[in-house]
Structure 1
Amino acid sequence: MEDEFVNNLVLKEHPKLTKEMQDKLEKQNSRIVSDFKAQKLEKDAQKNWDLFYKRNETRFFKDRLWTIREFKELAGSFDDQKKVLLEVGCGVGNMVYPLIEEKHNSYFIYACDFSQRAVDFVKKNELYDESKIKAFQCDITSESIFATIKEESVDIITMIFVLSAIHPEKFKVVAENLFKLLKKGGILMFRDYGLYDMAQLRFKSGNKIAENFYVRQDGTRSYFFSLDEAKSIFESAGFEVDQNNFIQRRTINKKEDVDVKRWFIQGKYIKP
C-alpha cells in the first residue's frame, strides 16, 4: 500500500521541539559537509537533478491531486478570458496534467524546471499541447525566465517543494523574480518542508550543509523553513502575506507499518 496523507491540521506556530528531536538535530552537527563539497554540490545541482530524473523517470512523484483542495484558486473561473499559470519546478508534470485532465481550461500554463530531462518528460506526455501548456528549462535563480515569460504577465504562480532544493543564499532573488512575473493582484501559492519535519530529523551526521540545509545521498538538497523565515522571504520581495501556516499531516503506510507526522509550510502571497 502506498503512503496516505491524513488529518490535515493548520497551525499558526512551530511544532514543539522534544528532547528526542533535539538529540537527533545535535547528532547531525558532529560532522558537517565540508566547504569544498558544499561548493561542488552547488556547482553540480543541475546535473544531480538530471541524474535523479534519469534514474526515476516519471515513477518517483505521485500526481498532486490535492492541490485544488488546498489552493482553491486553482479551480479557475471558466470564463472566456484565460488566466496565465506558472508552475515553478514542474518536475514531470504531476501537478499540471491533473489540472488539464480535470478540464480546468481557464489557464494557459507555463511549466518550468531546472532539469532539462524533467522538461523532456513533460513534453512527451500525450496531453502536451502548446496551445495550452509551454514547458521549458530555466534556472529560477537567474533572469533566464524572462526570456520566455514577460514581467507582470502571470496571474498565479505555484511553487510546491521547490524552494527547499535551492541554496538559501538565493531565496531572496527567487522571490524577487517571481514578484516581477506576477500581475498586480497576482498570487503565489507555496508549499515546502517545515522545520522539524520527519525528513529533517532522519538526516544523519555528514548530511548537514548548513543550518536547516541538508544533502541527500543522490546529491539533491533540501532546506527546512520556519514560519517567520518563509514570511520574511516573500515580504522582503514585496509580497503581502495572505496565508502563512504550518500544515501537519500524517504519513501512513500500512504495508511498511509507518505512521509519522509531517510538517509543511503552506502560504499564499499576493502582489499588491
Structure 2
Amino acid sequence: MTLGVMAEVQNTCSQRRVLTEEELLKLSRQNSLLVSSFNAEKLEREAKRNWDLFYKRNSINFFKDRHWTVREFDELLGNGIQGQHLRLLEIGCGVGNFIFPLFEDGGNFYVYACDISPRAVEYVKLNSKYDEDRMTAFQADATTDDIVKHVPSCSLDIVTLIFVLSSIHPEKHRKVLENAFTVLKPEGVMLFRDYGLYDMAQLRFKPGQKISENFYARQDGTRAYYFDREDFVTLVKSVGFSVISCEYVFRRTTNIKEGLDVRRVFLQAKLSRAK
C-alpha cells in the first residue's frame, strides 16, 4: 500500500474477532461505571422521543443511501413472480436510505416501511420519490404489536432488519423477531445486518456509557447493541427461523500516513421462515 492511500479489506468469518490486550483493557474499564438503572429506564421510556430528536437535528442528511444492500443480498434483485411485485417490509426505515435506492436499483417490490420516529416517517412521505402505489410508510414501535396491525400475517416475501435491532433493548429483540416471523410467508426471508461484537465503536465507549453486556448509551440518548453470532443464532432459532447464513463481516481500513487503523465488525444473516 502506498503511504497516505486509504486501503480497505473486507472478509467474512463465523468466528468472533480476537482482541489485543489493550482492547481487552478498554472493555474492562467500561465496567468501572455503568449507566444507572434510573437512567437506563429513562432511555428506554424515551426511545421514541430520542430518535425523533435525532431526525430533528439531522434531517435527511445523516445516513448515506444504502446502494450496497443489493450487492450483499441478491434477494433484493428479485423481479417478482409472473410480473407481480414481491412484498417487503423494512423495519426501521429512517428517512428512506434503503427503500428509495432499492427502487433506483431496479427492485420490483411493494414496500411497507416503518420507523419508531414519526418525524422520520414524515420525511419518507415528503420525499419526491414516495409512491403510494408502491409503498406504505407508517410509524410503529417494533417492540409492540404495531407492525402486525398494519401488515397482514404470512403476507411478505422479505423483511429487512438493517442496523435497527442494535438500537433496541436486548430484552425486546425477541418480540421484534417474532413480529418479523409473523408477517413473513412460509419460505419468506429475513435479511439482517447490524453491529458485531468487538466492533471499533464498541471499544470506544467510555465508563458511564455501558448499560449492560454489549449494550451502550450514546451521548444523544440513542443506544447501540453489539451482536455475538452464537447468541443471535440461538435466539432466531428459538423464534422459529431457519438460518441460511450468519457470519461476521470484518472490514479494516488503514492509512499509514494518517496513522489510521479502523476495524469494523458487522453481523450479517439470511434467515427463512419454514413452511
Normalising by structure 1, report the TM-score: 0.95
The partner residue of 1:68 within 63, 67, 70 is 70
Determine the C-alpha separation between the residues in 1 that align with 2:93 and 2:7. 21
Determine the C-alpha separation between the residues in 1 that align with 2:179 and 2:46. 22
Determine the C-alpha separation between the residues in 2 that align with 1:250 and 1:135. 35
Determine the C-alpha separation between the residues in 2 that align with 1:214 and 1:241. 27
The answer as to 2:106 corresponding to 1:103 is yes
Contact 2:88-2:158 within 8 A present in 1 as well: yes
Deviation per CA, 1:44-90: give whole Å up to 9, x if none.
Answer: 00000000000001111000111000001101125412110111101
Question: Which AA in structure 2 matches 1:100?
Answer: F
Determine the C-alpha separation between the residues in 1 that align with 2:9 and 2:85. 34
User: Counterpart in 1 of 2:252?
Assistant: 250
Question: Which AA in structure 1 matches 2:244?
Answer: D
Question: Which AA in structure 2 matches 1:138?
Answer: A
Residues matched between the structures, number: 268
Contact 1:111-1:136 within 8 A present in 2 as well: yes
Task: Specify the SS of the correspondent of 2:190.
Answer: strand
User: Counterpart in 2 of 1:83?
Assistant: 86
The partner residue of 2:188 within 171, 186, 189 is 186
Aligned residue runs from structure 1 range 56-205, under 5 A: 56-78=58-80, 79-104=82-107, 106-205=108-207
Structure 1 alignment gaps of length 5 or more? none
Give 1:129 deviation, angstroms.
0.7
Determine the C-alpha separation between the residues in 2 that align with 1:271 and 1:27. 41
Contact 1:5-1:249 within 8 A present in 2 as well: no
Task: Specify the SS of the correspondent of 2:101.
Answer: helix
Give 1:6 deviation, angstroms.
3.6
Contact 2:67-2:105 within 8 A present in 1 as well: no
Give 1:147 deviation, angstroms.
1.6
Decide which moves more: 261-270 or 77-86.
77-86
The answer as to 2:15 corresponding to 1:13 is yes
Deviation per CA, 1:141-188: give whole Å up to 9, x if none.
Answer: 111111210110010011101000000110111111110110000000
Task: Specify the SS of the correspondent of 1:90.
Answer: coil
Determine the C-alpha separation between the residues in 1 that align with 2:8 and 2:137. 32
User: Counterpart in 1 of 2:3?
Assistant: none
Question: Which AA in structure 2 matches 1:93?
Answer: G
Question: Which AA in structure 1 matches 2:200?
Answer: M
Question: Which AA in structure 2 matches 1:103?
Answer: G
Determine the C-alpha separation between the residues in 1 that align with 2:7 and 2:101. 18
Decide which moves more: 253-262 or 77-86.
253-262
Determine the C-alpha separation between the residues in 1 that align with 2:189 and 2:70. 14
Identity %: 51
Determine the C-alpha separation between the residues in 2 that align with 1:232 and 1:64. 28
Task: Specify the SS of the correspondent of 1:21.
Answer: helix
Normalising by structure 2, report the TM-score: 0.94
Give 1:17 deviation, angstroms.
2.0
Give 1:8 deviation, angstroms.
2.3
Determine the C-alpha separation between the residues in 1 that align with 2:11 and 2:32. 34
The answer as to 2:234 corresponding to 1:232 is yes
For the aligned residues, what is the CA RMSD? Answer: 1.7
- Structure 1's 170 and 120: CA in aligned 2 closer, same or farther, altered over 3 A? same
Displaced runs of 4 or more, over 3 A: 251-259
Decide which moves more: 191-200 or 78-87.
78-87
Decide which moves more: 176-185 or 75-84.
75-84
The answer as to 2:270 corresponding to 1:271 is no
